[in-house]
Amino acid sequence: MENLFSTFSIKDCELKNRIVMPSLASFLIENNGSIPKEAIEHYRRRAAGGPAMVIMEACAVSPEGIVSPHQARIYDDRFVEGLSKIAHSMKAEGAVPAVQLHHGGRQTSAKVIGALPVAPSPLPCPSIRGEVRPLSISEIQELVKKFGDAADRALEAGFELIEIHGAHGYLINQFLSRFSNIRQDAYGGDIQGRTRFAREIVREVRKRVGDAYPISFKISAMEFVKDGLNVEESIAILKILVKEGIDVIQVSAGNDATPEWISQPMFMEKACLTDFACTIKKEMNVPIMSVGRINDPRLAEEIIKTGKADLVCMGRGLLADPAMPNKAREGRLDDIRTCIACNTCMESIFRKGRVECLVNPTLGREKEMAFEPTATPKKVMVVGAGPGGLNVAWVAARRGHDVHLFEKQSQLGGQLILGSISHYKKGLLELLRFQTKQMERFGVTCHLGQEVTPEVLKEHSPDVVILATGSTPALPPIDGVDSPLVVSINEVLNGHGRVRGKTIVVGGGPTGCEIALDLAEKGDQVTIVEMLSKLGSGLESMTRKILLRKLNENDVTLKTDCKVVRIEENGVAIEEKDGGKITLPADRVVFSIGNRPENGLFDHIKSMGYEVHRIGDCLEPRSAKAAIYEGAVLGRAI
Cα dihedral 551→556→557→563 (10° resolution): -80
pLDDT above 70 (res 498)? no
Would strands 588-591 and 581-585 be described as parallel, antiparallel, or unpaired? unpaired
pLDDT at 621: 60
Mean pLDDT of the chain: 94
pLDDT at 630: 94
- Tell me what the mean pLDDT of segment 474-483 comes to: 92
Q: Which domains does the chain have, with CATH numbers?
A: 8-352 (3.20.20.70), 379-473+596-637 (3.40.50.720), 486-593 (3.50.50.60)
The answer to whether the CB of 128 falls within 8 A of the CB of 110 is: no
- Segment 344-355, tens digit of pLDDT: 998 888 888 888
For residues 380 and 396, give the distance between their C-alpha atoms in angstroms, rounded to a whole number: 8
- Tell me what the mean pLDDT of segment 321-337 comes to: 97
DSSP secondary structure code for residue 56 in this structure = E
- Segment 106-161, tens digit of pLDDT: 999 999 999 999 999 999 999 998 999 999 999 999 999 999 999 999 999 999 99
pLDDT at 368: 86
pLDDT above 90 (res 619)? no
pLDDT at 620: 62
- Segment 410-460, tens digit of pLDDT: 999 988 887 887 888 888 999 999 999 999 999 999 999 999 998 999 999
pLDDT above 70 (res 638)? yes
pLDDT at 299: 98
Catalytic: 170?
yes
pLDDT at 622: 67
pLDDT above 70 (res 496)? no
Q: How confident is the model at residue 600 (pLDDT cuts 50, 70, 90)?
A: confident
- Tell me what the mean pLDDT of segment 377-382 comes to: 98
**Burial call 597-623: b when 16+ CB within 10 Å, e when fewer:** bbbebbeebeeeeeebbbbbbbbebbb
pLDDT at 360: 96
User: How many other CB atoms are found less than 10 A from the CB of residue 94?
Assistant: 13
- Position 439: which residue type? M
pLDDT above 70 (res 16)? yes
pLDDT at 617: 77
Determine which one of 170, 187, 213, 629 is catalytic. Answer: 170
pLDDT above 90 (res 102)? yes
- Tell me what the mean pLDDT of segment 7-13 comes to: 96
pLDDT at 350: 82
The answer to whether the CB of 304 falls within 8 A of the CB of 294 is: no
Q: What is the 3-state secondary structure (H, E, C) of 393-429?
A: HHHHHHCCCEEEEEECCCCCCCHHHHHCCCHHHCHHH
- Segment 189-216, tens digit of pLDDT: 999 999 999 999 999 999 999 999 999 9
pLDDT at 589: 94
Left, alpha or beta for 489 (phi > 0: left; psi -120 to 50: alpha)? alpha
Q: Coil, helix or strand for 133? A: strand
Query: 553: Cβ–Cβ under 8 A, 6 or more apart, which residues?
Result: none
pLDDT at 578: 87
- Segment 527-563, tens digit of pLDDT: 999 999 999 988 889 999 999 999 999 999 999 999 9
First to last CA, the chain: 40
Q: Coil, helix or strand for 157? A: helix
pLDDT above 60 (res 397)? yes
pLDDT at 497: 54
- Segment 247-274, tens digit of pLDDT: 999 999 999 999 999 999 999 999 999 9
- Segment 26-69, tens digit of pLDDT: 999 999 999 999 999 999 999 999 999 999 999 999 999 999 99
For residues 182 and 191, give the distance between their C-alpha atoms in angstroms, rounded to a whole number: 12
For residues 231 and 206, give the distance between their C-alpha atoms in angstroms, rounded to a whole number: 25
Q: For the chain, give the percent of residues with pLDDT over 90.
A: 85
For residues 535 and 557, give the distance between their C-alpha atoms in angstroms, rounded to a whole number: 12
231-244 helix and 196-209 helix, angle to the nearest 10 degrees: 30
pLDDT above 90 (res 340)? yes
pLDDT above 70 (res 396)? yes
Helix, strand, coil percentages for the chain (3-state, nearest 5): 35, 20, 45
pTM given for the model: 0.93
Q: How confident is the model at residue 637 (pLDDT cuts 50, 70, 90)?
A: very high
For residues 465 and 637, give the distance between their C-alpha atoms in angstroms, rounded to a whole number: 13
pLDDT above 70 (res 467)? yes
Among residues 258, 135, 126, 154, the alpha carbon closest in space to that of 197 is found at 135
pLDDT above 80 (res 612)? yes
For residues 85 and 43, give the distance between their C-alpha atoms in angstroms, rounded to a whole number: 10
